[in-house]
Structure 1
Amino acid sequence: MNQQAHETYLRMQVNTAAPWELTTLLYNGCIKFMKQALEGIHNKDFEMKNINIKKATNIINELQYTLDKKYEVSNSLSSIYDYLLQKLFVANMKLDAASLAECIELMTDLKDAWVQSMKQLPASAKVRS
């Protein structure tokens, strides 16, 4: 698929997604960028590493910004997001592949838990979220 067609597809996916699906897309994007950053570390492509860690950091900041603080789970997620941001900073500054791999694993676990919890909601609740 050419780049323009791919971008059009992604734009349509975002524009037509339900709110809960947008969170899944953010998780997927963050994981993708962290994996690309890890590849950058392994290939000694430090620009690639830096660009993709910045993209992952931006997504985590967006996830944190959208948390509804009236729920206890939001406070827990905020702490996890803070931890991820700290580990990404270390990974970026020290070329620490282990920190980045830990972030990928943690974000994948968060995404999987999110998807699983959304599967258990009735369809009407997913539309309102």
Structure 2
Amino acid sequence: MLHNAAQTYQSNQVTTATPAELTLMLYNGAIKFIKQAKNAIHANEVAKAHEYCLKVQSILYELIATLNTEVPISQDFEKMYDYMLRRMIEANMRKDVAILTEVEDFFVQFRDTWKEAMVLAKNHG
């Protein structure tokens, strides 16, 4: 029962979120899945690590697909997301925690900057 309520809440959060909030959720999700992948690698649970890496890759595909190409900086984002995606594929193939940490650090920077931008936009909007 509680699990269903949590799923409903999460679903409502996603359907009522602004595009900015959705991007933040994607960043947070990627960070969470990378942590889980690293834990799975440390526990020698290769299949779980693979599953979590695929989730991060899916998030990167979504981030790339939803970029607003009319905004010049989106090309820079696309290059970074593409780099992170290639690194995730490599990390998944090698089960390499160091590469996962590298990608995680990028996601943390993106997330923190994004949160800051959302606050600035709210205060000046």
Q: Same fold (TM over 0.5)?
A: yes
The corresponding residue for 2:116 is: 116
1:83 partner amino acid? Y
RMSD, matched Cα: 1.6
User: Matched residue pairs, number?
Assistant: 125
Paired position in structure 1 for 2:44:
44
Partner of 2:26: 26
TM-score, normalised with respect to structure 1: 0.90
**Whole-angstrom CA distance in 1 between matches of 2:109 and 2:70:** 23
Give the gaps of 5 or more residues in structure 2: none
Q: Per the alignment, in what secondary structure is the counterpart of residue 108 of structure 1?
A: helix
- Shift of the alpha carbon at 1:8? 1.2
How far apart in 1 are the matches of 2:60 and 2:124? Answer: 27
Structure 1 position 29, deviation (Å): 0.8
1:90 maps to amino acid: E
Separation in 2, partners of 1:38, 1:99: 10
The gaps in structure 1 that reach 5 residues or longer are none
- The amino acid that maps onto 1:87 is R
CA distance in 1: counterparts of 2:101 and 2:122, whole angstroms: 34
Structure 2 distance, partners of 1:119, 1:10, is 22
Equivalent runs, 1:53-92 vs 2, <5 Å: 53-92=53-92
1:68 and 1:28 mapped to 2: Cα distance? Answer: 20
Q: Does 1:103 align with 2:103?
A: yes
- Normalised TM-score (structure 2): 0.93
Structure 1 partner of 2:12 = 12
